[in-house]
Chains A and B, each alone.
Chain A
Amino acid sequence: MDAPLPLTAEAEPRPSAAIALLRHARYVISGNVVTAASFVLFFLLLLCAAFGPWLAPYDPLASDTMAALQPPSAAHWLGTDHLGRDILSRIVVATRLDMGIAISSVALVFVLGGLAGVAAGYFGGWTDRIVGRLADTIMAFPLFVLAMGIVAALGNTVTNIVIATAIVNFPLYARIARAEAAVRRDAGYVQAARLTGNGEMRVLLGTILPNILPIMAVQMSLTMGYAILNAAGLSFIGLGVKPPTPEWGIMVAEGASFIVSGEWWVALFPGLALMLAVFCFNLLGDGLRDIVDPQRRT
């Protein structure tokens, strides 16, 4: 029944979206050494987190008082601590715990803060006021002190560290999601979605949320570094993971007292691991932004 209409439009086969995204990621990474380095570091961290216990040369908990406080050597690349435990092994094994806390807390806040913020930005009014004041209240405290308070009140467990880290990051996520949703609330494609029969909830979750996910994902990477620091910080002051569990914050805390007597490696190497992890996630955030930024897509 379709008579040909006198219309022209060019057509050429295109690769699927996933392949296009991979290609774009490769393009961004190859164009930026720093991003490439951060991705390498990220995979290294993942590797340690996944296979830490098998990669570590020694048992991270086995003490050997004969070999206590040994400087870096061929046998112990990063030296040993005051109980003679191999620092390299402890750092590698600790990756899983530190990353686990960071990833689960960020995932938690991503869902809670993201949903609350999107709803606030989209519906406005009372929803906005409640979410906004909640975020303000959290922001009113020094964040680390608040995290300390939450862990001290709820009890000294890994779950509570995750919850505390998520709560202190809540305002950040809620605000970003709110701002992005508010901008898109009356965008043409949102109006169009209403016209095609999408109810308000469907517009919110099916149209607005997917469009702000990339921006949130970038934020996720950036707060990951902060979450690692927060967890390590809590452990450092004795409010987090308990010794002898290998954890970067505890290791730095334990090593701190030996710096004065010249045994610098005990605190330095776990601190370095912490620094590299935070650094990696911050750089990763920049790289991710370049990948998801439509401006750089051609």
Chain B
Amino acid sequence: MEMPLLDVRDLTVEFATRRGTVQAVKRVNLSIGKGETLGVVGESGSGKSVTSYAVMRILDRAGRIAEGAVSFSGIALRELPEREMQDLRGREISMIFQNPRAALNPIRSVGRQIADVLLQHGQATRANARAKAIEALTQVRIARPEERYDAYPFELSGGMCQRVVIALALACRPRLLIADEPTTGLDVTTQKVVMELVTELTRERGMSTLLITHDLGLAAAYCDRVAVMEKGVVVEQAEAAAIFRAPAHPYTRRLMRATPRPGAGLRDLLPQEAPRPADPPPDPRQGEALLEVAGLVKEYSRGGGLLGRLAGRAAPAPFRAVDGLSFTVRRGESLGLVGESGCGKSTTSMMVMRLLDPTAGSIRLKGQEISGIPARGFASSPLRSRIQMVFQDPTDSLNPRLTAARAIADPILRMGTARGAALRARVEELAGLVGLPRPLLDRFPHQLSGGQKARVGIARAIALDPELVILDEPTAALDVSVQAVVLNLLQDLKLRLGMSYLFVSHDLHVVRLLCDRVIVMRQGRVVEEGPVEQVLEAPRADYTRELLAAIPHPPV
């Protein structure tokens, strides 16, 4: 075999922390041949990003390469002087980061940022930098590149920004591209476009790619070889097709099992068949309408501004985030609300939740009209406790200054009756229901893991036995194995407590696991509605088909 382009031998990376030295990466061996795409897959904390930072020598102050060698086409990167390393970054090896907006300078137009990189690495002169930057924008298929040259990052969508970042990364024709979670935070259809673009451009130029991702499906779809990392160690490394056909390591098998995929039920995601409580008999009231939403509209004015008004210009037509939405959630049912970012699903859930006032339409909970009660005053309504929510980001939705126990107790203190010992007992009972160990109750959010925080959020939502719980992408910020456990927990709780769910998500496969019916939304309107199996197996709308096709999944 010829010499690999990038060869990582026995790489060990250490971080100096308060509790002594921590090895984030332990004796990792990786190699990428010319024109090859290597996927590094693992959950958060597996050391996959740290490995790439070590290769680029951009570890933060506390981190250092303790051991091992990194060679890039024969050059030993670890010993290279910082000056030469700087030249290498961007020109020979470049990187795409997770958050495209954060990677771009917000006060410089995107075209000039590309021109800067070209000039810095001597790929262009002052005279032709603009033309070359526009050419780079054309290559990442940005429509009207001459106009976009002068656009600022905030004027572009997330997918567009990621394309600009790719244009930046590829501007100097590097030989190795490191893509660190390049599509996390993008919609599935955008993800597909971006990944295909990267694949095509790198193939065209004979570039090698190191793709770092938590998504097995993504790795399977776009990588030649895959390395699976767990706790800083590469546990398995093989051809992509082989690894998914016959995963050798137990961790890989567990990861694959936990990934939602066609044909697998909710219970199939868990590591092993555990004894389950028998499902209780169905609620006799099952089937009656719990939440009825009709003709719901939310408009945001686009205000022409004071100057425009003074000049006598008419204000532009208001933007309709939700445009005449109607649906019903029945008792004991789970309804999925699916769509890409900006389709109005979050706005809808906020209005149903009574955190936002609708422009028009009616929301009836248990037959009572609640859209008339202003959002500000709904906190004191007796219906407040009947309808609760589990938030998307478990970290953001917990008050950093409250312990887990206090957070769970909050709704009871405000709207319940239990106090003192009875309150503590109820909190402990709730913690038991969501599987949160009792000693963790006195911790603050920053002392809990993502999965534990998700449990606290769920316990808080069910504290007053609500009848309807809105789940706003409750697992989007979690690792797949944790996601599998949390989804199962939600299903158990629903059966045991007889709640109904309105599940808001962008991921059809996740929705299928938990929901009976699904609504596909686009631009504030319903595109398709029906039983979940029918929508997924035989979608009627083109948009649904497009969404389904865009989801990468490992070959099963």
Kindly name the residue among A16, A187, A188, A195 whose own CB sees the greatest number of chain B CB atoms within 10 A.
A195
Question: Does B399 contact A195, Cβ atoms closer than 8 Å?
Answer: no
Q: What residue in chain A is nearest B463 (Cβ atoms)?
A: A196
In the complex, whether B389 has a CB less than 8 A from a CB of chain A is yes
Question: Does A197 contact B415, Cβ atoms closer than 8 Å?
Answer: yes
Enumerate chain A residues within 8 angstroms of B389, measured Cβ to Cβ: 191-192, 195
The interface stretch among A4-12, A68-76, A128-136, A248-256 is: A4-12
Question: Does B489 contact A199, Cβ atoms closer than 8 Å?
Answer: no
Give the size of the chain B interface in residues (CB under 8 angstroms).
57
Complex Cα gap A12–B442 (Å): 11
For chain B residues 393-419, which have a beta carbon within 8 Å of chain A?
393, 396-401, 403, 410-411, 414-415
In the complex, whether A142 has a CB less than 8 A from a CB of chain B is no
Enumerate chain B residues within 8 angstroms of A6, measured Cβ to Cβ: 270, 274-276, 485, 488
Question: Does B379 contact A199, Cβ atoms closer than 8 Å?
Answer: yes
Enumerate chain B residues within 8 angstroms of A13, measured Cβ to Cβ: 439
In the complex, whether B251 has a CB less than 8 A from a CB of chain A is no
Enumerate chain A residues within 8 angstroms of B492, measured Cβ to Cβ: 5
In the complex, whether B263 has a CB less than 8 A from a CB of chain A is no
In the complex, whether A3 has a CB less than 8 A from a CB of chain B is yes
Complex Cα gap A189–B398 (Å): 5
Complex Cα gap A199–B6 (Å): 58
Whole-angstrom distance from the CB of B43 to the nearest CB of chain A?
A: 14
Question: Does A197 contact B398, Cβ atoms closer than 8 Å?
Answer: no
Complex Cα gap A254–B379 (Å): 62
Question: Does B18 contact A14, Cβ atoms closer than 8 Å?
Answer: no
Complex Cα gap A6–B435 (Å): 8
Whole-angstrom distance from the CB of A124 to the nearest CB of chain B?
A: 13
Complex Cα gap A199–B17 (Å): 41
Question: Does A194 contact B379, Cβ atoms closer than 8 Å?
Answer: yes
Q: What residue in chain A is nearest B381 (Cβ atoms)?
A: A197
Question: Does B433 contact A198, Cβ atoms closer than 8 Å?
Answer: no
Question: Does A2 contact B437, Cβ atoms closer than 8 Å?
Answer: no
Question: Does B397 contact A188, Cβ atoms closer than 8 Å?
Answer: yes
Enumerate chain B residues within 8 angstroms of A189, measured Cβ to Cβ: 396-400
Complex Cα gap A7–B452 (Å): 11
Question: Does B436 contact A9, Cβ atoms closer than 8 Å?
Answer: yes
Complex Cα gap A27–B19 (Å): 11
Question: Does B452 contact A9, Cβ atoms closer than 8 Å?
Answer: yes
Enumerate chain B residues within 8 angstroms of A115, measured Cβ to Cβ: none
Whole-angstrom distance from the CB of A20 to the nearest CB of chain B?
A: 8
Enumerate chain A residues within 8 angstroms of B392, measured Cβ to Cβ: 188
Q: What residue in chain B is nearest A10 (Cβ atoms)?
A: B437
In the complex, whether B72 has a CB less than 8 A from a CB of chain A is no
Whole-angstrom distance from the CB of A7 to the nearest CB of chain B?
A: 3
Cβ-defined partner of B397 (8 Å) among A12, A14, A191, A198: A191
Whole-angstrom distance from the CB of B145 to the nearest CB of chain A?
A: 35
Give the size of the chain A interface in residues (CB under 8 angstroms).
35
Chain A window 285-298, contacts with chain B (Cβ cutoff 8 Å), 1 for yes, 0 for no: 00000000010011
Kindly name the residue among A17, A194, A196, A202 whose own CB sees the greatest number of chain B CB atoms within 10 A.
A196
Q: What residue in chain A is nearest B412 (Cβ atoms)?
A: A196
Question: Does B355 contact A194, Cβ atoms closer than 8 Å?
Answer: yes
Enumerate chain A residues within 8 angstroms of B45, measured Cβ to Cβ: none
| A195-B376 in contact given A9-B436, A11-B437, A189-B400 (Cβ < 8 Å) | no
| A5-B489 in contact given A211-B400, A298-B17 (Cβ < 8 Å) | yes
Enumerate chain B residues within 8 angstroms of A200, measured Cβ to Cβ: 376, 379
Whole-angstrom distance from the CB of A43 to the nearest CB of chain B?
A: 25
In the complex, whether A210 has a CB less than 8 A from a CB of chain B is yes
Enumerate chain B residues within 8 angstroms of A10, measured Cβ to Cβ: 437
In the complex, whether B287 has a CB less than 8 A from a CB of chain A is no
In the complex, whether B149 has a CB less than 8 A from a CB of chain A is no
Complex Cα gap A98–B526 (Å): 68
Chain B window 446-474, contacts with chain A (Cβ cutoff 8 Å), 1 for yes, 0 for no: 11010110010100110100000000000
In the complex, whether B388 has a CB less than 8 A from a CB of chain A is yes
Whole-angstrom distance from the CB of A247 to the nearest CB of chain B?
A: 39
In the complex, whether B440 has a CB less than 8 A from a CB of chain A is yes
Cβ-defined partner of A207 (8 Å) among B376, B393, B399, B432: B399
Complex Cα gap A298–B446 (Å): 8
Enumerate chain B residues within 8 angstroms of A7, measured Cβ to Cβ: 435, 485, 489
Complex Cα gap A27–B16 (Å): 14
| A193-B439 in contact given A2-B433, A6-B274 (Cβ < 8 Å) | no
Q: What residue in chain A is nearest B19 (Cβ atoms)?
A: A298
For chain A residues 190-223, which have a beta carbon within 8 Å of chain B?
191-200, 202, 207, 210-211
Identify the 5 closest CB pairs spanning chains A and B, nearest first: A7-B435, A6-B274, A188-B397, A197-B414, A188-B396
Q: What are 7 residue pairs bridging A and B, where the CB atoms are less than 8 Å apart in the complex?
A: A9-B436, A9-B449, A9-B455, A196-B460, A197-B415, A199-B379, A202-B414
